[in-house]
Amino acid sequence: MTADDSPAADTDSPADVAVEPATPDDRLDILRVLDAAMLETDADTVADRIAAGDALVARSTRTGGVVGALVATRPDPARLHVDAVAVRRSRRGRGIGSALVAAAVRRGESDSHVDRVTSGFDAELSRFYEGVGFSVDDDADEGRRVGRRRV
């Protein structure tokens, strides 16, 4: 995804939120959102994914503040993996997480090397990932699931 095909104007996003590629200035806000959701992602990984264009933020159109974040990794050239996605507690249940994942899928679709987007998550998130078009399978770890979506 380039700045030109940024999902900021995407109709999948809630009306008061713009989903867009993260900038280096967003790094601390991303870490705070992920930390509040008790997701472990180190600062160097976040900085690297921002530089690669594989980190997204959901930004309030009213305040400009980051209300959600997604960090994707590249375990291999053909796969974009949603490593972490989180939304501030006060903004959950409004479609922001779905908009972030949809933007990551579009990121994968825009990269000719990527043929699938994946994610690993707790079982209680299966319906969320199925709702955004992922097929969901059991993982080897008890209580974990793996979601896959071809792009």
Report the CATH number at residue 95. 3.40.630.30
pLDDT at 1: 31
> Which tens digits make up the pLDDT trace of 66-108?
999 999 999 999 999 999 999 999 999 999 999 999 999 999 9
pLDDT at 71: 98
pTM value > 0.85 = yes
139: left (phi over 0), alpha (psi -120 to 50) or beta: beta
> How deeply is 53 buried, as exposed, middle or buried, from its count of CB atoms within 10 A (0-12, 13-18, 19+)?
middle
> Which tens digits make up the pLDDT trace of 108-139?
999 999 999 999 999 999 999 999 999 999 87
Q: Is 82 within 8 Å of 118 (Cβ atoms)?
A: yes
Across 131-148, average pLDDT: 86
- Name the residue range of residue 26's domain: 3-150
pLDDT at 38: 92
**Integer Cα distance of 111 and 84 in angstroms:** 20
% of residues, the chain, pLDDT over 90: 81
Residue 52 has pLDDT above 90, yes or no: yes
pLDDT at 90: 92
The total domain count for the chain is 1
% of residues, the chain, pLDDT over 70: 91
Across 3-32, average pLDDT: 77
